[in-house]
Amino acid sequence: MQRFVDDVLAVTKESVKTFTYESLNNTVRLINGVSALVLALLPGKANILEGIQGWELRPTFRGPRLPRWMENGASSFNQFIHELSLDSDVSSQEYLSGEEEEDEEEEEEEEEEGGGDEYEEYPKTPLSPSSRVPRDTFTDYGRHQTDWILISLQFLMGLPFRLFQLVYSGVSKPRSIAGCQHPSQPHPPNGLQSLKDQIIHRATDRRRGVIEDLHLAMEIFIEAVFDVIHKSIHVLFSPSEAFGTLFRLFSSNERPILVDKDVVEDASVSSAPAERNTSFRSSLNTDARTCQDVITELGYPYEAIHVITADGYVLLLERIPRRDARKAVYLQHGTFDSSMGWVSNGVVGSPAFAAYDQGFDVFLGNIRGLVSREHVNKNISSREYWKYSINEYGTKDIPALIEKIHQVKTTELKLSKPDIEEESNDDQLYKLCAICHSLGGASMLMYVVTRRLKSKPHRLSRLVLLSPAGFHHDSSLLFSAAERVLFLLGPILSRIFPAFYVPTRFFRMLVNKLARDLQHLPAAGGLVQTLLGYVAGGDSSNWVGVLGLPHYNMNDMPGVSFGVALHLAQIKRSRRFRMFDYGSAYNMKIYGSPEPLDLGERYGLIDIPVDLVAGQRDTVIRSSMVKRHYKLMKEAGVDVSYNEFEYAHLDFTFSHREELLSYVMSRLLLVKPSSKNHQRAPRLRRKGQASVTG
């Protein structure tokens, strides 16, 4: 009777699992189908989705009978449990009746008599298929071939859920040791929790997004419910055994339990999984790989340098070091980005690796603006941390990072090449180029101009600016609407939203996982991609792919302060590239004039070559705005070049563009290292030029 009930429960459990899985898969297919219908009706989708692979309007499921959560016809969850049982050597015969145990003993005896030598090298376990069905079974027992085919099919179909039942019951019940009359010591109460932690750890290590999380959660829930039902029915059919177990459990607290050495050794093996400590919260974390992980996994050297700015912000300067190199390159990211953007395309398509392979010492800068709020004051409030504008990028962050680079390179070169002599204290032993994207380009221009105004060396030999910010009056209607909202509701919004980022760990995890799911649902992903493209004015960057990158994870992400957004709105409204407008009174104190310092009018102070690159498909910073930089620099006598590529805004960093990469490397190679490098101090300021204090 017990065996019949077990079979009924097993079939019912698998039926419930299949029904729930197929229901979820059908729901996902419905969402993808509706998204395809909506996407077909949206105008302008062809331009936004052009050049992005994988947005075909068809689902990626393998078929109605074999969904994504199954591989080779077997549930991935049961595969995890099978691997877990083999690793921890936990076995049980709870779901086997007395007849099955006797049949197995007879099979083992026959194997020992006939072909025992054939199996001596391979010790069997209760979960090994060879221990259940020997290879000579069909001939030894002389049963009808058709019957054995049906039995084999039934066994194979029931193997996955029986594996889970064997492992789960082996942990939750005392193990029975053949030939030993001593009662086994019950597992500690945390034994079940240990197994649950292992299941969560193994399952979440392989998941991809919310859909697979739901699959695994449903499997764990269904297995737990049916295990409770099975244990309850077992108590009803075997009350004496249940009461005996309870009696031994309570009596173990009153007297010591004596067990022989074999039992103790066996218990030590079964308790090994308890050493793994996996919290449920950490198992739900998203892919939190860092720039360091990407660099080291690809076999490149790595170094991390922490830099503290004048106002106490802790910045991370990452490096792919060539310590004896006489030429270095500094890469600066833009808005909502980090150093991950320069290495996200792997060895072939990433500017950081390309520069290193060309012999450069590579430095990757990270400016302020992380949700984790890295600061020397550990108790700094959110409002105080996010109280900055683009001014602080160009006058605080970049100066601190480049001065640290100068300090490190000078020290290393003097140690490695002591025969180098400097003509004066202002000379530097290396050449430093900078590659900047978007807002990083505007910050770098601000840095160069303000350093020249303060008669301080900027340490740079060449600038390569990829779609630099600074002029924004030619932008989309949505950006114009955002500008008006920031000016009208600025005082109120600044108190409510000190910065713009995804709030709370849960929502950051959800966004990252949904971005991964959208990459496997082409129609739904295409719909979200199109809508985000509308927000960006029709820009065809791979917005969904960028949201799935590791630097948008559960623990941290780059954000943008309200002051930076307001500063961009001021630039757009004034139609000039200038520093932050604090108001007439405070401007007099900071800039020495009622108006903010106009950086475009002082491009004549730039004394190094500048290469400007624009994207023809870039609607975030249009090519006309990059041409505005070029025109002002050309009129001021700057050695400047201009080039356009048919790219969108994020294609400059997050997409593999061989043509762009070749062009950038060619501009860097124009700078030749020399043992002596003179950087002339700027002449005295003309009349009317404002001064800047850091």
Alpha-helical runs (H) found in 238-313: 239-251, 261-270, 280-283, 291-297
d(CA 246, CA 248): 5
Structure tokens at 463: 């600038």
Structure tokens at 232: 């309850």
Show Cβ contacts of residue 133 under 8 Å, excluding neighbours closer than 6 positions: 152, 155
Show Cβ contacts of residue 234 under 8 Å, excluding neighbours closer than 6 positions: 2, 242
According to CATH, the topology of domain 291-417+429-670 is Rossmann fold (3.40.50)
Alpha-helical runs (H) found in 70-120: 76-88, 98-113
Domain ranges of the chain: 1-85, 291-417+429-670
> What pLDDT shows up at residue 368?
94
d(CA 475, CA 473): 6
Pick the closest to residue 613 from 636, 639, 646, 637 (CA basis): 646
Taking the chain (694 residues) in runs of 10, the rounded mean pLDDT of each run is 81 89 89 86 72 44 35 42 45 42 51 44 35 37 43 50 48 40 41 42 51 85 88 76 68 52 41 40 60 91 96 96 94 92 87 94 94 91 93 96 96 82 63 96 96 94 96 87 88 88 84 82 84 81 78 81 94 94 92 93 95 93 95 95 91 83 93 58 41 42
Structure tokens at 131: 């221990």
Return the number of other C-beta atoms located less than 10 Å from residue 415's C-beta: 10
SS3 content of the chain, % helix, strand, coil (to 5): 50, 10, 40
CA 272 to chain centre: 31
Structure tokens at 630: 């070029």
Residues in the chain: 694
d(CA 481, CA 486): 9
Q: Are strands 610-615 and 462-466 parallel, antiparallel or unpaired?
A: parallel
Return the number of other C-beta atoms located less than 10 Å from residue 639's C-beta: 13
d(CA 95, CA 5): 10
Which residue's structure tokens are 């849960």?
506
Q: Running DSSP on this structure, what letter comes out for residue 191?
A: H
Distances in Å between the Cα of 546 and the Cα atoms of 289, 654, 655 are: 14, 7, 10
Which residues are paired to 610 by β-bridges? 463, 640
Distances in Å between the Cα of 600 and the Cα atoms of 312, 318, 575 are: 29, 31, 11
Report yes or no on whether pTM surpasses 0.85. Answer: no
> What pLDDT shows up at residue 679?
43
